[in-house]
Amino acid sequence: MALRDIKPTRSELIALKRRIALSERGYKILKMKRDGLILEFFKILEQAKDSRGELLAKYRRAVETMAFANTIEGAIGVKSAAFSVKEVPQIDLKSKNIMGVVVPEIESSKVKKSLVDRGYGVLGTTSAIDETALAFEELVEAIIESAEIETTMKRLLEEIESTKRRVNALEFKVIPELTEARDFIKMRLDEMEREELFRLKKIKARSV
Protein backbone atom coordinates (compact mmCIF):
# COMPACT_ATOMS: atom_id res chain seq x y z
CA MET A 1 0.00 0.00 0.00
CA ALA A 2 1.33 3.42 -0.99
CA LEU A 3 1.77 6.15 1.61
CA ARG A 4 -0.83 8.28 -0.21
CA ASP A 5 -3.45 5.53 0.21
CA ILE A 6 -3.15 5.64 4.04
CA LYS A 7 -5.67 8.17 5.36
CA PRO A 8 -5.74 8.29 9.16
CA THR A 9 -8.14 10.48 11.09
CA ARG A 10 -7.70 13.01 13.92
CA SER A 11 -9.62 10.69 16.26
CA GLU A 12 -7.07 7.95 15.59
CA LEU A 13 -4.28 10.36 16.48
CA ILE A 14 -6.02 11.39 19.71
CA ALA A 15 -6.62 7.74 20.66
CA LEU A 16 -2.98 6.94 19.99
CA LYS A 17 -1.82 9.86 22.15
CA ARG A 18 -4.01 8.56 24.97
CA ARG A 19 -2.48 5.10 24.64
CA ILE A 20 1.01 6.60 24.79
CA ALA A 21 0.16 8.64 27.89
CA LEU A 22 -1.36 5.55 29.54
CA SER A 23 1.68 3.43 28.64
CA GLU A 24 4.05 6.07 30.01
CA ARG A 25 2.11 6.23 33.29
CA GLY A 26 2.13 2.44 33.50
CA TYR A 27 5.86 2.43 32.81
CA LYS A 28 6.55 4.87 35.66
CA ILE A 29 4.37 2.92 38.10
CA LEU A 30 5.94 -0.42 37.17
CA LYS A 31 9.43 1.05 37.39
CA MET A 32 8.68 2.36 40.90
CA LYS A 33 7.29 -1.06 41.84
CA ARG A 34 10.37 -2.83 40.47
CA ASP A 35 12.72 -0.54 42.38
CA GLY A 36 10.68 -0.95 45.57
CA LEU A 37 10.67 -4.74 45.23
CA ILE A 38 14.44 -4.75 44.75
CA LEU A 39 14.87 -2.78 47.98
CA GLU A 40 12.60 -5.22 49.83
CA PHE A 41 14.51 -8.16 48.34
CA PHE A 42 17.84 -6.89 49.63
CA LYS A 43 16.34 -6.37 53.09
CA ILE A 44 15.16 -9.99 53.09
CA LEU A 45 18.53 -11.07 51.71
CA GLU A 46 20.27 -9.69 54.80
CA GLN A 47 17.84 -11.64 56.98
CA ALA A 48 18.51 -14.76 54.90
CA LYS A 49 22.25 -14.50 55.45
CA ASP A 50 21.76 -14.34 59.21
CA SER A 51 19.14 -17.10 59.08
CA ARG A 52 21.38 -19.45 57.09
CA GLY A 53 24.28 -18.88 59.43
CA GLU A 54 22.09 -19.54 62.45
CA LEU A 55 20.57 -22.62 60.81
CA LEU A 56 23.99 -24.13 60.09
CA ALA A 57 25.18 -23.39 63.63
CA LYS A 58 22.10 -25.03 65.15
CA TYR A 59 22.41 -28.00 62.81
CA ARG A 60 26.02 -28.56 63.89
CA ARG A 61 24.97 -28.20 67.54
CA ALA A 62 22.18 -30.76 67.07
CA VAL A 63 24.53 -33.25 65.41
CA GLU A 64 27.11 -32.82 68.19
CA THR A 65 24.59 -33.31 71.00
CA MET A 66 23.12 -36.33 69.22
CA ALA A 67 26.54 -37.94 68.92
CA PHE A 68 27.22 -37.25 72.60
CA ALA A 69 23.81 -38.61 73.66
CA ASN A 70 24.38 -41.77 71.63
CA THR A 71 27.67 -42.24 73.44
CA ILE A 72 26.14 -41.73 76.89
CA GLU A 73 22.68 -43.28 76.48
CA GLY A 74 23.22 -45.54 73.49
CA ALA A 75 21.24 -45.45 70.24
CA ILE A 76 18.35 -47.40 71.76
CA GLY A 77 18.05 -45.01 74.70
CA VAL A 78 18.04 -41.96 72.40
CA LYS A 79 15.39 -43.50 70.12
CA SER A 80 13.28 -44.46 73.10
CA ALA A 81 13.34 -40.87 74.37
CA ALA A 82 12.47 -39.57 70.90
CA PHE A 83 9.51 -41.93 70.48
CA SER A 84 8.12 -40.92 73.86
CA VAL A 85 7.29 -37.42 72.63
CA LYS A 86 3.52 -37.21 72.15
CA GLU A 87 2.92 -33.61 71.04
CA VAL A 88 4.25 -32.71 67.63
CA PRO A 89 5.01 -29.13 66.48
CA GLN A 90 2.01 -27.22 65.11
CA ILE A 91 2.51 -25.12 61.97
CA ASP A 92 0.08 -22.32 61.09
CA LEU A 93 0.59 -21.01 57.56
CA LYS A 94 -0.67 -17.49 56.94
CA SER A 95 0.20 -14.87 54.34
CA LYS A 96 1.20 -11.23 54.15
CA ASN A 97 1.48 -8.69 51.36
CA ILE A 98 4.73 -7.01 50.29
CA MET A 99 4.06 -4.46 47.54
CA GLY A 100 1.38 -6.64 45.98
CA VAL A 101 3.32 -9.88 46.40
CA VAL A 102 1.71 -12.48 48.65
CA VAL A 103 4.39 -14.17 50.77
CA PRO A 104 4.08 -16.77 53.53
CA GLU A 105 4.00 -16.02 57.24
CA ILE A 106 4.67 -19.17 59.24
CA GLU A 107 3.75 -19.38 62.90
CA SER A 108 4.74 -22.39 64.97
CA SER A 109 3.81 -23.69 68.39
CA LYS A 110 4.69 -26.65 70.56
CA VAL A 111 8.19 -26.76 69.11
CA LYS A 112 10.08 -26.10 72.33
CA LYS A 113 8.81 -28.21 75.20
CA SER A 114 9.37 -28.43 78.92
CA LEU A 115 11.03 -31.50 80.43
CA VAL A 116 7.61 -32.85 81.44
CA ASP A 117 6.05 -32.30 77.99
CA ARG A 118 8.84 -34.20 76.23
CA GLY A 119 7.39 -37.42 77.57
CA TYR A 120 10.47 -39.34 78.61
CA GLY A 121 11.16 -39.89 82.28
CA VAL A 122 13.68 -37.40 83.61
CA LEU A 123 14.85 -39.87 86.26
CA GLY A 124 15.78 -42.54 83.75
CA THR A 125 17.82 -40.29 81.44
CA THR A 126 20.82 -38.01 81.66
CA SER A 127 21.16 -34.33 80.78
CA ALA A 128 22.57 -35.42 77.39
CA ILE A 129 19.04 -36.32 76.31
CA ASP A 130 17.74 -32.96 77.49
CA GLU A 131 20.46 -31.06 75.62
CA THR A 132 19.84 -33.08 72.46
CA ALA A 133 16.08 -32.49 72.63
CA LEU A 134 16.61 -28.76 73.12
CA ALA A 135 19.16 -28.59 70.28
CA PHE A 136 16.74 -30.27 67.85
CA GLU A 137 13.83 -28.11 68.99
CA GLU A 138 15.91 -25.00 68.26
CA LEU A 139 16.92 -26.51 64.92
CA VAL A 140 13.26 -27.03 63.97
CA GLU A 141 12.51 -23.39 64.84
CA ALA A 142 15.45 -22.26 62.70
CA ILE A 143 14.22 -24.41 59.79
CA ILE A 144 10.73 -22.89 60.00
CA GLU A 145 12.14 -19.36 60.06
CA SER A 146 14.50 -20.12 57.18
CA ALA A 147 11.66 -21.64 55.12
CA GLU A 148 9.60 -18.46 55.49
CA ILE A 149 12.52 -16.22 54.51
CA GLU A 150 13.66 -18.38 51.58
CA THR A 151 10.12 -18.64 50.16
CA THR A 152 9.65 -14.88 50.52
CA MET A 153 12.91 -14.28 48.65
CA LYS A 154 11.86 -16.66 45.87
CA ARG A 155 8.48 -15.00 45.35
CA LEU A 156 9.95 -11.48 45.46
CA LEU A 157 12.59 -12.47 42.91
CA GLU A 158 9.93 -13.95 40.61
CA GLU A 159 7.88 -10.75 40.84
CA ILE A 160 10.97 -8.59 40.22
CA GLU A 161 11.78 -10.56 37.06
CA SER A 162 8.15 -10.36 35.87
CA THR A 163 7.96 -6.61 36.53
CA LYS A 164 11.35 -6.06 34.91
CA ARG A 165 10.16 -7.79 31.71
CA ARG A 166 7.04 -5.60 31.62
CA VAL A 167 9.09 -2.43 32.20
CA ASN A 168 11.50 -3.38 29.41
CA ALA A 169 8.65 -4.24 27.06
CA LEU A 170 7.06 -0.82 27.62
CA GLU A 171 10.35 1.07 27.43
CA PHE A 172 11.92 -0.63 24.41
CA LYS A 173 8.94 -1.92 22.39
CA VAL A 174 5.46 -0.65 23.21
CA ILE A 175 6.15 3.06 23.79
CA PRO A 176 8.65 3.43 20.87
CA GLU A 177 6.25 1.68 18.47
CA LEU A 178 3.30 3.81 19.60
CA THR A 179 5.40 6.97 19.35
CA GLU A 180 6.52 6.02 15.86
CA ALA A 181 2.92 5.37 14.83
CA ARG A 182 1.84 8.73 16.34
CA ASP A 183 4.57 10.60 14.46
CA PHE A 184 3.64 8.84 11.22
CA ILE A 185 -0.08 9.64 11.59
CA LYS A 186 0.69 13.26 12.45
CA MET A 187 2.97 13.56 9.42
CA ARG A 188 0.34 11.94 7.17
CA LEU A 189 -2.43 14.22 8.49
CA ASP A 190 -0.24 17.27 7.82
CA GLU A 191 0.38 16.03 4.29
CA MET A 192 -3.33 15.44 3.75
CA GLU A 193 -4.10 18.97 4.95
CA ARG A 194 -1.52 20.42 2.56
CA GLU A 195 -2.93 18.31 -0.28
CA GLU A 196 -6.45 19.45 0.51
CA LEU A 197 -5.34 23.08 0.70
CA PHE A 198 -3.55 22.75 -2.64
CA ARG A 199 -6.65 21.15 -4.19
CA LEU A 200 -8.89 23.95 -2.93
CA LYS A 201 -6.50 26.57 -4.31
CA LYS A 202 -6.58 24.87 -7.72
CA ILE A 203 -10.39 24.78 -7.68
CA LYS A 204 -10.49 28.44 -6.70
CA ALA A 205 -8.03 29.36 -9.44
CA ARG A 206 -10.12 27.62 -12.06
CA SER A 207 -13.27 29.39 -10.95
CA VAL A 208 -11.73 32.86 -11.26
Delimit the domains of the chain by residue range.
17-203
Structure confidence at residue 81 as a pLDDT band (50, 70, 90): confident
Give residue 4's pLDDT: 58
| 208 — pLDDT class (breaks 50, 70, 90) | low
The C-alpha angle 51, 52, 57, rounded to 5 degrees, equals 100
Contact of 37 with 161, CB cutoff 8 Å: no
Q: In 3-state terms, what secondary structure has residue 172?
A: helix
pLDDT higher than 60, residue 3: no
Q: Which pLDDT belongs to residue 123?
A: 61
pLDDT for the residue numbered 124 = 63
CATH of 17-203, one of 1.20.58.60, 1.10.3720.10, 1.10.287.3240, 3.40.50.150: 1.10.287.3240
User: Which contiguous run of DSSP H or E holds residue 34?
Assistant: helix 10-83
Give yes or no for residue 33 having a pLDDT over 90. Answer: yes
Question: At residue 69, does pLDDT exceed 80?
Answer: yes
pLDDT, tens digit (0-9, with 9 covering 90-100), for 43-54: 999 999 899 999
pLDDT digits (tens, 9 = 90+) for 112-127: 877 777 777 666 677 8
0.85 surpassed by pTM: no
d(CA 93, CA 192): 65
Q: Which long-range contacts (CB under 8 A, 24 or more apart) does 28-34 make?
A: 30/163, 30/166, 30/167, 30/170, 31/167, 33/99, 33/100, 33/163, 34/160, 34/163, 34/164, 34/167
pLDDT of residue 122: 60
Q: 61 — phi, psi (to 5°)?
A: -60, -40
Q: What is the pLDDT of residues 82-106, one digit of tens each?
A: 777 777 778 888 899 998 899 989 8
CB neighbour list of residue 159: distance below 8 Å, 6 or more residues apart:
37, 100, 101
